[in-house]
């Protein structure tokens, strides 16, 4: 036997009994079976065995269970990104002739998938005002199959009354003819600020890229549900798509999960303090953060959550401040870097033209930026922002 073969079919087995605190990384495409009979009996759907890497490994099964616990759900599935988790829900449940309802302040790629991909398959998207349950009622039709929600909304952080939105759907005559599914993107809540299943939603999507990672170095998403039939449908669509995650990446999320609650609370505290302080700045017209009384949906947030919030703050400047001045403001910050995503170690800043993103309009005039607070200290972040705000008054 040549070395080459010996190196592949080697006798050595490490001793049994190794227990690390961390979950081992089990990398595989091929998983070996002890005999042909075992292949026939092997079941990946109920997670009782391993068949092939795309269907799961001990590392990914473990992460699924922990995400289900985080979400307060019976089942969780993992996808390669938060966006892929959103599109899995669409693909599992929508068919030609259906309508999907999307809140107008949704994570924009959710809307974009509907308008560009689902549209080609004969599925129509409608956009509703998430702060007005009556508007949602008007948008429902016999074709409605799926209603997306997001708490809080992307970029502008309006906090909707999700139980009221669910009630509108469940009491509608259309949902008596055919089940209308509800899915919430609750990335902002991190599984910490609230449990979306308490509000009567069917499915929860979470970009694990954000808080569960907490390190800005891995992309992943999850879809959770406590409904067995929905779970099985999601699972089969995921399997047919060939969408799966790698064990190395699952392990990075497992590492992050153990500290998620502490990180969420710590950054929440800094963010709420900064949001209140920013509100007092003369160059600022309005601050968007659900802890602030005049931020849209403040009352819903107060009533429906643990009064905890993610690291995001929206800042609307006075209408006489120009776009170029705000571009300079963003470029000149020393502790706020320019970049997408959030819930990582570094604070981030980005300007947004909100009106251009909204199909149902945007009530405000003025330049808008979104801040994502990182793990730096509050005083240093405040000093950097203060310098910027002061320069706007000159
Ligand atoms: C970031 C984000 C996503 C997408 O997650 P990716 O892993 O970056 O694809 C989806 N929804 C919300 C609310 C997000 O903030």
Tell me the C-alpha distance between 74 and 273, whole Å: 36
pLDDT value, residue 45: 86
* 3-class secondary structure, 337: strand
Per this entry, what is the length of the chain?
394
Q: Which atom of ligand 1 is nearest to the CA of 86?
A: 10
> 230-274, pLDDT tens digit by residue?
999 999 999 999 999 999 999 999 999 999 999 999 999 999 999
Torsion angle, CA of 283/289/291/292, rounded to 10 degrees?
A: 30
Per the structure block, which two tokens stand in for 45? 């759907």
Residue 286: Cβ-neighbour burial (10 angstroms; 0-12, 13-18, 19+): middle
Q: Which atom of ligand 1 is nearest to the CA of 221?
A: 7
Summarize the confidence of residues 323-352 as an average pLDDT.
98
Tell me the C-alpha distance between 51 and 147, whole Å: 34
Q: Which atom of ligand 1 is nearest to the CA of 154?
A: 13
Torsion angle, CA of 88/90/96/101, rounded to 10 degrees?
A: -170
Q: What is the CA radius of gyration of the chain?
A: 23
Ligand 1 center from residue 188 Cα (angstroms) = 9
Ligand 1 center from residue 176 Cα (angstroms) = 32
Which residues touch 48 (CB under 8 Å, ≥6 apart)?
A: none
List the residue whose alpha carbon is closest to atom 5 of ligand 1: 82
pLDDT value, residue 394: 73
Using the predicted structure, report yes or no on whether residue 44 has a pLDDT greater than 90: no
Using the predicted structure, report yes or no on whether residue 197 has a pLDDT greater than 80: yes
Summarize the confidence of residues 130-140 as an average pLDDT.
98
List the residue whose alpha carbon is closest to atom 6 of ligand 1: 82
Given ligand 1 and candidates 111, 209, 342, which is best to mutate, with the most ligand atoms within 8 Å of its CB?
Answer: 209
> 297-313, pLDDT tens digit by residue?
999 999 999 999 999 99
Ligand 1 center from residue 36 Cα (angstroms) = 42
Summarize the confidence of residues 181-196 as an average pLDDT.
98
Using the predicted structure, report yes or no on whether residue 43 has a pLDDT greater than 90: no
Residue 178, Ramachandran bin (φ over 0: left; ψ between -120 and 50: alpha; else beta)? beta
pLDDT value, residue 387: 97
Which residues line ligand 1 at a C-beta cut-off of 6 Å? 81-83, 107, 154, 185, 187, 207, 209-210, 219, 221, 341
The whole-model pTM stands at 0.97
β strands within 120-180, DSSP E? 124-128, 144-150
Residue 149's pLDDT band (boundaries 50, 70, 90)?
very high
Using the predicted structure, report yes or no on whether residue 144 has a pLDDT greater than 90: yes
pLDDT value, residue 393: 85
Tell me the C-alpha distance between 247 and 127, whole Å: 37
Other CB atoms within 10 Å distance of the CB of residue 376: 15
Summarize the confidence of residues 125-152 as an average pLDDT.
98
Tokens 């938060």 belong to which residue?
A: 82
Is the sign of the CA dihedral 104, 107, 110, 112 positive or negative?
positive
> 63-114, pLDDT tens digit by residue?
999 999 999 999 999 999 999 999 999 999 999 999 999 999 999 999 999 9
pLDDT value, residue 77: 98
Tokens 């801040």 belong to which residue?
A: 371
Looking at 34-48, 128-142, 201-215, which range is the least confident one?
34-48
Beta bridge partners of 75: 225
Tell me the C-alpha distance between 79 and 224, whole Å: 11
């Amino acid at each position: 036997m040549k070395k080459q073969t010996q190196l592949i079919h080697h006798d050595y087995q490490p001793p049994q009994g190794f227990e690390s605190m961390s979950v081992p990384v089990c990398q595989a495409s091929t998983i070996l079976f002890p005999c042909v009979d075992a292949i026939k009996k092997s079941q990946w759907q109920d997670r009782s065995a391993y068949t092939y890497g795309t269907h799961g490994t001990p590392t990914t099964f473990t992460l699924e269970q922990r995400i289900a616990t985080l979400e307060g759900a019976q089942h969780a599935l993992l996808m390669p990104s938060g966006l892929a988790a959103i599109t899995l829900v669409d693909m599992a449940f929508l068919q030609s002739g259906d309508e999907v309802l999307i809140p107008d302040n949704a994570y924009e790629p959710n809307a974009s998938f509907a308008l560009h991909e689902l549209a080609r398959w004969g599925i129509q998207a409608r956009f509703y005002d998430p702060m007005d349950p009556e508007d949602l009622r008007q948008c429902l039709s016999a074709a409605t199959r799926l209603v997306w929600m997001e708490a809080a909304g992307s970029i502008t952080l309006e906090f909707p009354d999700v139980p009221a939105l669910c009630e509108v759907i469940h009491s509608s005559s259309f949902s008596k003819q055919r089940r209308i599914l509800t899915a919430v993107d609750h990335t902002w809540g991190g599984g910490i600020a609230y449990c979306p299943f308490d509000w009567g939603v069917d499915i929860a999507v979470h970009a694990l890229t954000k808080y569960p990672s907490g390190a800005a170095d891995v992309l992943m998403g999850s879809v959770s549900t406590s409904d067995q039939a929905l779970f099985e449908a999601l699972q089969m669509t995921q399997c047919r798509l060939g969408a799966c995650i790698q064990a190395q990446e699952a392990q990075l999320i497992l590492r992050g999960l153990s500290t998620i609650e502490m990180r969420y609370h710590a950054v929440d505290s800094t963010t709420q303090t900064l949001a209140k302080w920013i509100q007092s700045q003369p160059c600022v017209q309005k601050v968007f953060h659900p802890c602030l009384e005049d931020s849209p949906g403040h009352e819903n947030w107060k009533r429906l959550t643990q009064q905890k919030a993610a690291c995001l703050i929206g800042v609307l400047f006075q209408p006489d401040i120009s776009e170029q001045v705000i571009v300079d403001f963003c470029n000149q910050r020393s502790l706020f870097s320019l970049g997408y995503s959030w819930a990582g170690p570094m604070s981030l800043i980005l300007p947004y033209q909100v009106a251009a993103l909204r199909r149902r309009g945007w009530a405000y005039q003025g330049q808008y930026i979104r801040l994502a607070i990182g793990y730096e200290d509050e005083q240093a972040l405040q000093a950097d922002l203060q310098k910027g705000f002061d320069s706007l008054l000159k």
